[in-house]
Chains A and B, each alone.
Chain A
């Protein structure tokens, strides 16, 4: 079990993913790619094919479609009581990986599977920027 992450105040990313989160602060959306297979991964991994040295971080489109979602009504943590109801989506990114996030600029009732979305950066604190997604405009 990894350290608990309770956004955003005690956010402590895994070292493997640090380049991703640093890029988010610059409002850049990166993904990790295997040089050996060209496959993209999220979260970062030691490539099952070529090992850790075979991985590189590259700019990604930040676009994808909602693969599945849920609207959360039960505050599973005390600090979420003010937030319910809110959505959780799994975005299938254009490059391949799934990414768990929220859809913003969209009522919960309009969130649906197959919905095209694009990344938008939310500067939650001076140190932490969270990528979220909104309905595609382009």
Chain B
């Protein structure tokens, strides 16, 4: 298959209000996101001939509510790796000519089903028997090991939170908008699971996102500003569970990164802006290391030195990320990359940003940290 045939582009995206306790049903969040994405792309409902539900629910149930009549309606659930995973599926579908415009649709309202039981996770093995519930502890186990191996400090974790909050402060619609925090605030925030404090953790939010993908060829005819997909890749942590390197890495990033950069024909230094999946501060530090922005163990000092902030070596999570922006299960990062590459990131726009790195990981709560990792490289032109 020629690279031209494989080439596809994001031609529309829609983001609903994102926040706590919105009181909007999930399918309505998806409908609103779809409306916005269609308007952004200059497409009609009837143009959408492929639908991928990215919320883990039953995809075909959405169609009548959304007013769609696609050739397929699939559900894809890979936690925080879902957005990029769905993008990879869409690439295949488009390359094979199975559809012309694929909508990736996400809408989630955890506030509507909150019962005090917590979100739980993907239970692989028996950690929950011992009181290990949800993703925070999984990431705490990583952070503790990272501190032991490299001397990473709580203050360095805090630097991630403070840096990203500073981005969010100027970004309307985020949880952190107009609410700066200091390192002292981080250090004074209560302990959740050592070494992670409250401000090391993101909060789940309600919201919807829709992304419309088509071929690069078709994208030329549309009025929207396309963002082309240069490369993608995936990895799975069960391999690292088997060989016991699961705590030496954050996820199985190596194969995902290698495939994505290989396909794109790029080196890391080509990346202008990074949008890394960040449920917890340690995730940013370890991904910066795994992707090679700094050496293993240097992620803490790297962030503390301001290298992920404005004007740093790799501005990262420039809308606040999940930590200070909103939690759209992997779409947060993808949306920020699109905004940056279109030049629409407002006060935190990275000057001349052309190439963005996006990551996602998902599937917490069992013996693994997370199961899936996915990487995407996006470029600002066709």
* Residues of A participating in the B interface, judged by any CB pair closer than 8 Å: 1-8, 11, 13, 17, 41-43, 45, 48, 67-74, 76-78, 80, 83, 86, 88, 90, 92, 96-98, 100-102, 113, 130, 132
Contact B367 A77 (CB under 8 A): no
User: Chain A nearest CB: distance from B285 CB in Å?
Assistant: 15
Of B117, B122, B132, B140, the contact of A100 (CB 8 Å cutoff): B132
* CA gap between A80 and B118 in the complex, in Å: 12
Contact A76 B367 (CB under 8 A): no
Contact A1 B142 (CB under 8 A): no
Q: Which A-chain residue is minimally distant from B128 (CB atoms)?
A: A5
User: Chain B nearest CB: distance from A90 CB in Å?
Assistant: 6
Q: By CB atoms of chain B within 10 A, which of A5, A77, A78, A88 has the most?
A: A88
Q: Known: A76-B118, A130-B129. Is A68-B367 also a contact (CB below 8 A)?
A: no
Q: How many B residues face the partner with a CB closer than 8 A?
A: 38
Contact A70 B123 (CB under 8 A): no
- Chain A residues with CB below 8 A from B131, complex form: 72, 77, 80, 83, 86, 88, 102
* CA gap between A69 and B122 in the complex, in Å: 20
Of A73, A98, A100, the contact of B130 (CB 8 Å cutoff): A100
B220 within 8 A of A: no
Contact A70 B129 (CB under 8 A): no
Contact B130 A74 (CB under 8 A): no
* CA gap between A17 and B126 in the complex, in Å: 10
Contact A71 B194 (CB under 8 A): yes
* CA gap between A83 and B130 in the complex, in Å: 11
Pick out which of these stretches binds chain A: B240-248, B288-296, B324-332.
B240-248
* Residues of B participating in the A interface, judged by any CB pair closer than 8 Å: 116-118, 120, 122-134, 136-137, 140-142, 144-145, 148, 190-196, 241-242, 244, 246-247, 367
Contact A88 B137 (CB under 8 A): yes
Contact B244 A70 (CB under 8 A): no
User: Chain A nearest CB: distance from B352 CB in Å?
Assistant: 41
- Chain B residues with CB below 8 A from A13, complex form: 126
- Chain B residues with CB below 8 A from A98, complex form: 241, 244, 246, 367
Q: Known: A70-B193, A74-B192. Is A8-B129 also a contact (CB below 8 A)?
A: yes
Q: Known: A80-B131, A86-B131, A100-B132. Is A73-B123 also a contact (CB below 8 A)?
A: no
Q: Known: A88-B137, A92-B244. Is A78-B117 also a contact (CB below 8 A)?
A: yes
- Chain B residues with CB below 8 A from A4, complex form: 120, 123, 128
A-B contacts counted at CB < 8 A amount to 111
User: Chain A nearest CB: distance from B279 CB in Å?
Assistant: 14
- Chain B residues with CB below 8 A from A113, complex form: 144-145, 148
Beyond A70-B140, A71-B193, 17 additional pairs, beta carbon < 8 A: A3-B123, A4-B120, A5-B123, A5-B128, A5-B129, A6-B128, A11-B129, A67-B247, A73-B191, A74-B191, A74-B192, A77-B118, A88-B137, A92-B244, A100-B127, A100-B132, A113-B145
Of A6, A73, A97, the contact of B192 (CB 8 Å cutoff): A73
Of B122, B134, B142, the contact of A68 (CB 8 Å cutoff): B142
* CA gap between A67 and B367 in the complex, in Å: 13
Of A8, A48, A78, A88, the contact of B132 (CB 8 Å cutoff): A88
* CA gap between A25 and B51 in the complex, in Å: 49
Q: By CB atoms of chain B within 10 A, which of A8, A17, A83, A90 has the most?
A: A90
6 contacts between A and B (CB under 8 A): A5-B129, A48-B242, A72-B137, A73-B190, A77-B117, A113-B145
* CA gap between A66 and B246 in the complex, in Å: 15
- Chain A residues with CB below 8 A from B196, complex form: 70
Of B117, B130, B134, the contact of A102 (CB 8 Å cutoff): B130
